[in-house]
Amino acid sequence: MSDEQLEIGFEDNGSKGRYFVRSPSGDEAEMTFTRIGEQQIIIDHTEVPDAFRGQGIGLRLVTRAVEEARAAGKKIIPLCPFANAQFRRHPEWADVLKR
């Protein structure tokens, strides 16, 4: 199964949430976030197990968060080192980056 076929899931637990991808074998990659008020989220952790490495799964998770933040008019604070690096690589995301 290619990474394009793996669906990104979403869990919302009030002030915290996550985007995740689960393989048929049960491996799970995730990007977690914390809401700060109504207009900001902090991406605090991204974890991609070895089974997904090199497939762009981490980038897909952060991209989904960016797309949804943009659609909702929210800003993102990328505290997670991986997410922070992706924001540096993607200047087109500047509109959702909290400065």
Q: Which residues of the chain have pLDDT under 70?
A: 1-4
Q: What is the pLDDT of residue 4?
A: 55
Domain count, the chain: 1
The string of pLDDT tens digits covering residues 24-52 is: 889 999 999 999 999 999 999 999 999 89
Q: Which domain holds residue 70?
A: 3-93
> Which of 30, 34, 42 lies closest to 17 in space, CA to CA?
34
Whether pTM exceeds 0.85 = yes
Is the residue at 98 inside a domain?
no
Got the DSSP string for 4-65?
Answer: GGSPEEEEEETTEEEEEEE-TTS-EEEEEEEEETTTEEEEEEEE--GGGTTTTHHHHHHHHH
Specify the CATH number for the domain of residue 23. 3.40.630.30
Is the residue at 61 inside a domain?
yes
φ, ψ of residue 97 to 5 degrees: the values are -80, 125
What one-letter code names the amino acid at 68?
Answer: E
